[in-house]
Amino acid sequence: MQEYWEIYMKNLEGKPASIQFNAGISMEIEELQYTHPIIGFVKAKLKDPKANGMLSENEEPEILFMEDKLEAAMIKFRIGKYVGRIISDGYVTFLYYLQFSYNWQDFIEYALNEHASYEITNGYSDDREWNYYKKLLYPTPREWQLIQNHKVCDNLKEQGDSLQVPRAIEHKVYFEDVEIKEELKKALEKEGFVIKKEIVNEDGMNGLDFYRLDKPFYHDIDTLTLSLIDITEFYNAQYDGWETSVVKSSLAQGI
């Protein structure tokens, strides 16, 4: 199983939630649905959450220790696979897909013996379709875009970019139906984008390379890319991300 973890924020039942999940396991779901058909959870009430219900810095070390103990116990009892963690509304929930449940209680007692001061609930149920992973942990296309946005923003910041200086931000979109090309061009130009060129990807899909002067700051780029997803989806096209140059004072360098 590949270990490739991502973390992002989303809204759950009107409350902010931090979602950490193993993205690498998504490549093996078809096989794992048969070998690991049970969803198990361990839910702990935070002792000192932030006002918005999220994990505080003071409590983080203890929760990470709990996470490590649970993972060690999961490996010891060979009971299943750790797939994600949710922090929201003053609680942290750890999620696992299990091969079997006969030794679940042994797993719980071993993993949580040093955390008696926490109010903890646990349980398991059938989930052969892996709905908890697919519909709760796994990001929507829009949430995936925000994850990628913040990675690029972090990369720019590491290179000394303040993210506050407008510069040309280049985007790509691909579509199967070439008949929508001209209408899509007009829609993008109406929003102030300049069509740079027509492109074709490795799979032979046609597309457009276009740009506009914008700030790549987190909130700004999130708003911009989500609006582009709305536009491109309207034309049955697929938004394929953005790139820009590092701006240090008045100097620009390619990333």
- Domains of the chain with bracketed CATH: 5-137 (3.30.70), 141-254 (3.30.70.970)
Whether residue 94 contacts residue 41, with contact meaning beta carbons closer than 8 Å, is answered with yes
* 59 touches 1 (CB < 8 A): no
CB 180 within 8 A of CB 235: yes
What does each C-alpha distance from 150 to 8, 15, 163, 242 come to in angstroms?
A: 10, 21, 11, 12
Question: Can you give the pTM of this predicted structure?
Answer: 0.85
What is the Cα gyration radius of the chain? Answer: 22
- pLDDT tens for the chain, residues 1 to 255: 568 899 999 999 999 999 999 999 998 999 999 999 999 999 999 999 999 999 999 999 999 999 999 999 999 999 999 999 999 999 999 999 999 999 999 999 999 999 999 999 999 999 999 999 999 999 999 999 999 999 999 999 999 999 999 999 999 999 999 999 999 999 999 999 999 999 999 999 999 999 999 999 999 999 999 999 999 999 999 999 999 999 986 544 433
Give the sign of the dihedral formed by CA 228, CA 230, CA 236, CA 238: positive
Q: Which residues contact 254 (CB under 8 A, 6 or more apart)?
A: 245, 246
At 35 the pLDDT is 96
Extended strands (E) in 112-243: 120-126, 167-175, 194-200, 206-214, 237-243
Q: How many CB atoms sit inside 10 A of residue 21's CB?
A: 23
Cα(245)–Cα(237) distance, rounded to whole angstroms? 26
Indicate the burial class of 48 (C-beta count within 10 angstroms; 0-12, 13-18, 19 or more). exposed
- Identify whether the C-beta of residue 74 lies closer than 8 Å to the C-beta of residue 107: yes
Residue in 147, 145, 169 with CA at minimum distance from that of residue 229: 145
pLDDT of residue 251: 43
CA pair distance 92, 106, nearest whole angstrom: 21
SS3 132: helix
Give, in degrees to the nearest 5, the angle at Cα 147 between 169 and 235. Answer: 60
d(CA 63, CA 140): 27
- Considering Cα of 15, then 217, then 239, then 201, what sign does the dihedral take? negative
Give the strand order in the sheet containing 194-200.
194-200, 206-214, 167-175, 237-243
Q: What is the pLDDT of residue 3?
A: 80
Burial of 26 (C-beta count, 10 Å sphere; 0-12/13-18/19+): middle
Give the pair of three-digit tokens for residue 76. Answer: 């010891």
